[in-house]
Structure 1
Amino acid sequence: MVTRQDAGDIASRIIVSGHQVAVGEALRDHATEALDDLSRKYFGGAEDIACTFSRTGDGGFGCAIRVHSGKGLHFDGEAEHAAAPAAFNLALERVAKQLRRRKRELREDKPVNPTRDGVL
């Protein structure tokens, strides 16, 4: 389990694990850093992030990412690829797209929105 906390920021807990597969330090560090950056970009940080690597039936790798950003908001992304880092990147893109769309919905829902009204 990898936990990162910085002073002054919302503490986020990031768990990178493997399901019947060993996760090396390089992959763990890459995943932790990318997930930390993603959680800071959207909503100022996530409460919990779980990333699980597994083997697929055809010899490749699968990656499942679940982000809990509070108040019952859960975002999931899954991907498969022959290489574990590529599977992680694909799953991360799917979660980022969901977070981006949710953030846009919240921003455009406001009654006075300079971005939506074309003022900016």
Structure 2
Amino acid sequence: MEPRQETDDTASRIIVSGHQVDVGEALRGHATEQLDALAQKYFGGAEDITCTFSRTGNGGFGCAIRVHSGRGLYFDGEAEHAVAQAAFSLALERVAKQLRRRKRELREDKPVNPTRDGVL
């Protein structure tokens, strides 16, 4: 039963919605799964994640992702594409790049760092 509780907790902190767009269960499940994996990879989780799909003026889809990882840290990513999943993937890449850079920045700030000193 513990894996079920983790899923319920994940669903309560990851919000996938559509602005004048009906987000299907397949897209919602894919987005939730990818966002949860991203949250676990960086900083061991996030306080809350919001993903919003919308229509663009030229017939495509827009996706905006906002990750709140605590202590006033917010990471935003937006993208547009003709396909909703592609827009999501592009926005997710942008957020992942910001998280990766922030994590590297924190790691390189340590006084003794074998990665920074070139030992590894």
Q: Same fold (TM over 0.5)?
A: yes
Taking the aligned partners of 1:74 and 1:12, their CA distance within structure 2 comes to 18
- In structure 1, list runs of 5 or more residues that go unmatched: none
- Tell me the equivalent position of 2:35: 35
- In structure 2, list runs of 5 or more residues that go unmatched: none
The structural deviation recorded for 1:11 is 9.2
| Structure with more of its chain in helix, by fraction | 2
Decide whether the 8 Å contact of 2:53 with 2:61 is kept in 1. Answer: yes
- Tell me the equivalent position of 2:13: 13
Taking the aligned partners of 2:39 and 2:12, their CA distance within structure 1 comes to 8
Q: Equivalent residue of 2:58, what SS?
A: coil
Post-superposition Cα deviations, 1:67-88, rounded to whole Å, max 9, x if no partner, equal 0000000000000000000000
- Tell me the equivalent position of 1:79: 79
- Tell me the equivalent position of 2:67: 67
CA-based RMSD? 2.0
Taking the aligned partners of 1:37 and 1:101, their CA distance within structure 2 comes to 17
Identity of aligned residues (%): 86
| Structure with more of its chain in strand, by fraction | 1
TM-score when scaled to structure 2?
Answer: 0.91
The structural deviation recorded for 1:119 is 1.9
